[in-house]
Amino acid sequence: MRYSYSVIRFVPDPAKGEFVNVGAIVGSDESSEWTVRQVANPIRARHLDERDALLAVWAFIDQLGRQVDAYEDVIQGMSLDTIGPPPSEDWLAELHARHTNIVQLSPPLPMIADTLEDALDTVFAELIVDPAKRSGGLTKHPALAAVRRAYKEAGLLADRVVQGATLEAGGHRERMDFGVAKDDVIQITQTWSFQASDQEAIARYVRAWGWAVKAVQAAGGRLIAADATVFHVPPDVDVEVVYIPPNGIRDEAALSDAWSVFAALSATEVRIEDASQVADRALKLISRT
């Protein structure tokens, strides 16, 4: 997968140009995943810090981390509120252009890696002293990327697909990963990972999403895009689910609960490897309307 990265630099005296790399930002517009990491032992930065400026650097990295965390909560359906603009390649380029003092970011560059953690590990191994490892469960990002690729290959992504919008219906508000619109919304698609570490949380998010979709099916609703454009969602909208299946018996609890939600909504569910079927159905729906 394609990622973009920038190295975070501490520049004690911008006039001299001397700097030390203290962290990195890595992410992908394709999968909507972003992460920030700082060095675990900043001994080299402390040696250069003659003006007690490092606290400002750590505050900057902490704020970036909070912004990325808030965006991840939105992606996972735990929140509707971000901190500042959503992380993206354009956002990263703006950070690089805007910060020219004691905190600087290297020009964003592309790279290819299998996962976000692999990309971040590579950046630290090659450009930053003292890497720090993190671990976590498999989230929904690969499914998001698979659906985006499917819509893109079908020629729908640029003009027809609304991404990361808010679905409102019957007093419910939930994030919707994708909506395909002609005049009205003709298809909504949500992605889930059933390999995530917190199975109870996943089951809870699926149920909340299901109540919002059920309200749409009862009386219609609306999809509000990030730019505030509003699309009508009719009760007969096509409901699609693309999921990452569980990995072993331990992860099956949330999927079992979700199965009943999907069935109640008459949603069409497909595994991540079959995401192209969602785009195929969207094309057929467009041709009929």
Q: For position 80, what pLDDT does the model report? A: 85
Q: pTM for this structure?
A: 0.79
Q: Tokens for 54? A: 């490092």
Report residue 96 CA to chain centroid gap: 21
Distance CA 9, CA 16 (A): 14
| Largest distance between two CA atoms of the chain | 69
Q: Please name which of 23, 20, 18 lies closest in space to residue 7, comparing C-alpha atoms.
A: 23
Is residue 5 within 8 A of residue 25, CB to CB? The reply is: yes
Instruction: Quote the CA–CA distance of 130 and 181 in Å, as a whole number.
Output: 48
Query: In the prediction, which pLDDT does 132 show?
Result: 44
Reduced 3-state DSSP string for the chain: CEEEEEEEEEEEECCCCEEEEEEEEEEECCCCEEEEEECCCCHHHHHHCCCCCHHHHHHHHHHHHHHHHHHHHHHCCCCCCCCCCCCCHHHHHHHHHHCECCEEECCCEEEECCCHHHHHHHHHHHHCCCCCCCCCCCCCHHHHHHHHHHHHHCCCCCCCEEEEEEEEECCEEEEEEEEEECCCEEEEEEEEECCCCCHHHHHHHHHHHHHHHHHHHHHCEEEECCCCCEEEECCCCEEEEEEECCCCHHHHHHHHHHHHHHHHCCCEEEEHHHCHHHHHHHHHHHHHC
- Every domain of the chain and the residues it spans: 2-127, 141-288
Residues recorded for the chain: 289
Q: Residue 48's closest CA among 78, 27, 18, 69?
A: 18
What was the pLDDT predicted at 164?
93
CATH 3.40.1350 fits 141-288, yes or no: yes
Over its length of 289 residues, how does the chain's per-residue pLDDT go in tens digits? 999 999 999 999 888 778 999 999 999 999 999 999 999 888 889 988 988 899 999 999 999 999 999 999 999 888 888 888 999 999 999 999 999 999 999 999 999 999 999 999 999 989 987 634 444 556 899 999 999 999 999 999 989 999 999 999 999 999 999 999 999 999 999 999 988 767 778 888 999 999 999 999 999 999 999 899 999 999 999 999 999 988 765 556 667 889 999 999 999 999 999 999 999 999 999 998 6
